[in-house]
Amino acid sequence: MTYYAIVLLLLFFMLPAAAGHKSMVHSQSQLCHDPQQPASLRCAPAPSATFDKQGRLWVVWSSGGHLYVNFSVDQGKTFSAAHVVNSVPEAISAHGENRPKIVLSEQGKIYLSWTTPLAKRYTGNVRFSYSNDNGLTFSTPITVNDNLDMTGHRFDALAVNKQGTVFMAWLDKRDRLQAKRKGESYKGAALYYSLSTDGGHSFAKNQRLMSHTCECCRVAMAIDKDNLPVILWRNIYDVNTRDHSLIKLRDNHRASKAVRVSFDNWQVDACPHHGPALSISQMIDGVSEQAKKHSFYHLVWFNNAPERHGLFYKRMSDPNVLISDSKEFRELENGLAIPFGDYNKNASHPDVLSLDNQVWLVWKEFNGEADEVKLQYSDDNGETWQASVIIATTQKGSDHPFLLNDNNMIYLQWQTEAEGFRILPLKSYTQN
């Protein structure tokens, strides 16, 4: 057989294989729209994930009115059988800004929260369940909001501290509904929170943290060094200026003063559906001993004001703590946020993760043909940044990107229509 004959024969067998691969990807996408197919993480619209101390990757996702949890021991290559959380099906919000959440306690418990939409538009209840046996069984879901009016209790945030206290915050329209019944006007919603000190068996009376918040953007929450939560959300200032606020709990039942942290002055009488993200790390070396007792907050958000629009990053500390002997610290508090990403490529939905002096930023852009996830990295607590790099792409629809920490190894989580659930290690992208 001649050389050219061999080449032609090889091409003959290779072409069907390539075509078959494209057909397989297309058929997998079709399976996600077939109601007869079993529930699958690959087809879940908005999963959430976290690593435990043993390096297992836990994922919560929804399908057909049920919430599912499973885990992976090989960074998402394979997964255990999924366990059903709610035996009785219910509506579950599962989209970019309002998805099921999962956190793990130091004691090994699994905590879940989600929003159940009600019969009317823009209404819902905040739901919660837990597992004490490594996800084999889950408690009967309970409603955390103690107001059960047909109104909005949505966009929940979930966190647990080292003592096992569970904190929840969400956007709530009970006050708006009461104002309407009185014939009064009420802008937006309100920020409420509650907590559980008994492992999720019960929650304390709901408390309002702030009135007149933007009503349809995700709420961010992280636990500070003192084991109390810090909450970041989009607020309403003046008539309809949609900038961001931050609040820190002083103890389980009292909050410090809420402060405005973004000053972009985006004035819009609409729902941006574009919430912020928050990560907390410890102070860098070289500042005062008093400053070392406190933490750095790393904040990212999107705004679309005429003069300041796009993605922004800001580093700050607890604004309620006065550190008079640190000039560097005071300047940091008052500094403007730093823009990043390409606004002309629809830079959107950023996430941030900090670990000691290292900070990672990820966000999504569209290059005209495909969605891209971009990464920017700092090894000096956000003082300087490496150039951004593209770390993942997809040709079809995609979820927001998220950052995960597994024993100081950082990963990207990204759910895409074409590829399904993806976990990508980021170490190779952050080498000098």
pTM over 0.75: yes
CA 225 to chain centre: 20
Count how many Cα atoms sit within 13 Å of the Cα of residue 425 in the half-sphere of its side chain.
Answer: 10
Question: What is the Cα–Cα distance from 313 to 368, expressed in whole angstroms?
Answer: 25
Asked if 384 contacts 340 with a C-beta cutoff of 8 angstroms, the reply is no
pLDDT for residue 330 is more than 70? no
Q: How confident is the model at residue 283 (pLDDT cuts 50, 70, 90)?
A: low
What confidence tens digit (pLDDT) does each residue in 28-65 have?
A: 566 787 778 899 999 999 999 999 999 999 999 999 99
Higher model confidence: residue 146 or residue 290? 146
Strand boundaries in 105-176, DSSP class E: 110-117, 124-131, 142-143, 153-160, 166-172
What pLDDT does 290 receive?
52
| Long-range contacts (CB closer than 8 Å, 24 or more residues apart) made by 393-401 | 394/370, 394/418, 394/419, 395/369, 395/370, 396/29, 397/371, 398/364, 398/371, 399/45, 399/46, 399/47, 399/96, 400/96, 400/349, 400/351, 400/364, 401/349, 401/351, 401/362, 401/363, 401/364, 401/373
Q: What is the mean pLDDT of residues 13-23?
A: 34
Measuring CA to CA, how many Å separate 79 from each of 18, 90, 109? 27, 25, 19
Strand boundaries in 35-93, DSSP class E: 48-51, 57-63, 66-72, 83-84
Closest CA to 332 of 352, 309, 313: 313
What pLDDT does 293 receive?
61
Question: What is the Cα–Cα distance from 317 to 249, expressed in whole angstroms?
Answer: 14
| Per-residue H/E/C for 159-196 | EECCCCCEEEEEEECHHHHHHHHCCCCCCCEEEEEEEE
What pLDDT does 6 receive?
32
What confidence tens digit (pLDDT) does each residue in 139-183 have?
A: 999 999 999 999 999 999 999 999 999 999 999 999 999 999 999
**Domains of the chain from N-terminus onward:** 43-213 (2.120.10.10)
Task: Compute the residue count for the chain.
Answer: 432
Q: Which residues pair with 255 in a beta bridge?
A: 249
What confidence tens digit (pLDDT) does each residue in 221-252 have?
A: 999 999 999 999 999 999 999 999 999 999 99
Q: How does the average pLDDT of the chain come out, rounded?
A: 88
What pLDDT does 284 receive?
54
Asked if 58 contacts 51 with a C-beta cutoff of 8 angstroms, the reply is yes
pLDDT for residue 253 is more than 70? yes
What pLDDT does 271 receive?
85
pLDDT for residue 285 is more than 50? yes
